[in-house]
Amino acid sequence: MSLDRLYRALKHVAAASCLVLASAGSALGQTDGSERISSGIDAAAERYAADVQWLADDARQGRGLGSEGLAKAGMWMEKQFKTIGLQPSGDDGGFRHVFGVPIPDPSNPHAQKGFVYAFNVIGRIPGNGELDGVVVVGAHYDHLGYGGEGSLEPDSRAIHNGADDNASGAAALLEVARQMQERRGQLKRDVVFMAFSAEERGLVGASNIVRRPPEGLSMDDVVAMLNMDMVGRLRDDKLSVLGGDSAEEWDAMVEPLCERFGLECAIGGDGFGSSDQSAFFAADIPVLHFFTGTHAEYHKPSDDADLINAEGGARVAWLVSDVAGTIANRTGDLTLVKTSDGPQQRMALRARLGTIPDYAGPADGSPGLLLSDVRPDSPAEAAGLQRGDIIIRIGEMDIASVQDYMVVLSEANPGDTAPVIVKRDGEEVELEVTFGAPR
């Protein structure tokens, strides 16, 4: 998940309109879902854990753009698609869909130094042709490499393994494909599986698919797009289903399926935001983004495979395979809902302080923005902000959360100054910040 988009995801989690309460116990023995869970989830969790482990191994070098580790991860995804039995649906009869990512020139913000190439991996399970259109299921497989701008520990030159972000989604994509391949005879529509690259650079892989789809795929044919980004940290069976407001039918369709797998789903939010689904929603396609929530290791070198809940990830994958199967066999289109909250009205950050928020928040759960660090040579550092400070007020605005902080950064102008109150070692300290220009 790309950093600047996480904030909207968080907003959606908070605003999600519908919480489905279903205990794992009540689902046992009741539905075919729970029978499948009891008979096969352990094996699925084992496969899932092994796949996450492989993708998040140090040998993949954090799957950073332009690295050999990312290329190998892409080739491995390709091999898995082939083994599962997907039909190649990229360019020139293969699985790959290649695109260029511009390399910015640090000495000139208006120039670029060329391109680095990356590829999405695309495969298909054909339906029986009874219904037109295709269902897209996707997850990105790239991450941050050795860190840098996107990292929340920018000074560390350490491998960022991205086990949750997003080996967890890529492994889930493989499990969805396996589940659906087993039931392929029952599908009325094609299901297209996409492993995206360069998501962390701003959804570049997904945007390239929308802009230049591979041969045989038109965006007009896509009935819905299901995205999995950060699905490896299921806690207390709680799953966010973002984008739940992007089609009228989502709530009624997804709720009972969540229940089937013992998941408490918070379904809601428009289709813009946190990850690759944004690119598809911008093309007027109903979307969902499955998300098990953020954590203290988000975008840090410590996002490792040993913290993954493999049983949870496998269960999310099974849920997604059932949602995809439901759409594949449902007559007619979904009813797209576009709210006025389009990308052009999205919260644009006008100013920057250079703080590194700790998304887990203050340890005692009190309101405020906990800083896990402050970027070197930033306005925050110049103001004397420090690691461990909890920002509780900026100017006139009480800061209870990351969202409040984003509001301040979207309303301030570079050069503005404002008093900041932080809690430091239990004491309130007042500092003055001068906002910088966003990067």
Q: Give the alpha-carbon dihedral of 84, 89, 92, 98, to 10 degrees.
A: -100
From residue 18, alpha-carbon distances to 79, 123, 241, 265 in Å are: 39, 33, 10, 8
CB atoms within 10 A of CB 199: 30
Helix, strand, coil percentages in the chain from 3-state DSSP, rounded to 5: 35, 25, 40
Q: For 383, phi and psi rounded to 5 degrees? A: -80, -10
Rule CB under 5 A: which of 335-364 touch Zn ion?
Answer: none
Question: Which residue, 303 or 373, is less far from Zn ion as judged by CB?
Answer: 303
How many residues touch Zn ion under the rule CB under 5 A: the total is 2
Stretch that binds Zn ion, among 82-90, 108-116, 163-171, 377-385 (CB under 5 A): 163-171
CA dihedral sign, ordered 156, 161, 164, 170: positive
Question: Which residue, 96 or 160, is less far from Zn ion as judged by CB?
Answer: 160
Question: Which residue, 217 or 231, is less far from Zn ion as judged by CB?
Answer: 231
Cα separation, 434 vs 409, whole angstroms:
12
Cα separation, 2 vs 8, whole angstroms:
11
Stretch that binds Zn ion, among 157-165, 210-218, 262-270, 289-297 (CB under 5 A): 157-165
Stretch that binds Zn ion, among 1-9, 267-275, 312-320, 408-416 (CB under 5 A): 1-9
Question: Which residue, 89 or 274, is less far from Zn ion as judged by CB?
Answer: 274
**Min separation Cβ 243 and Zn ion, Å:** 17
Helix/strand/coil for 234:
coil
**Min separation Cβ 366 and Zn ion, Å:** 27
**Min separation Cβ 357 and Zn ion, Å:** 15
E-only strand ranges, 155-311: 190-196, 222-228, 238-242, 264-268, 287-291
Continuous segment of H or E residues that includes residue 84? helix 68-84
C-alpha Rg value of the chain to the nearest Å = 22
Residue 1 in the binding site for Zn ion (CB under 5 A): yes
Residue 164 in the binding site for Zn ion (CB under 5 A): no
Residue 165 in the binding site for Zn ion (CB under 5 A): yes
CB atoms within 10 A of CB 79: 12
Q: Return the closest-CA partner of residue 89 out of 128, 133, 120.
A: 120
**Min separation Cβ 307 and Zn ion, Å:** 15
Stretch that binds Zn ion, among 21-29, 159-167, 234-242, 315-323 (CB under 5 A): 159-167
From residue 98, alpha-carbon distances to 114, 115, 117 in Å are: 16, 12, 7
Question: Which residue, 199 or 389, is less far from Zn ion as judged by CB?
Answer: 199
Question: Which residue, 1 or 369, is less far from Zn ion as judged by CB?
Answer: 1
Question: Which residue, 69 or 88, is less far from Zn ion as judged by CB?
Answer: 69
**Min separation Cβ 165 and Zn ion, Å:** 4
**Min separation Cβ 66 and Zn ion, Å:** 17
**Min separation Cβ 208 and Zn ion, Å:** 18
Question: Which residue, 165 or 255, is less far from Zn ion as judged by CB?
Answer: 165
Stretch that binds Zn ion, among 70-78, 164-172, 236-244, 270-278 (CB under 5 A): 164-172
Site residues (CB under 5 A) for Zn ion? Answer: 1, 165
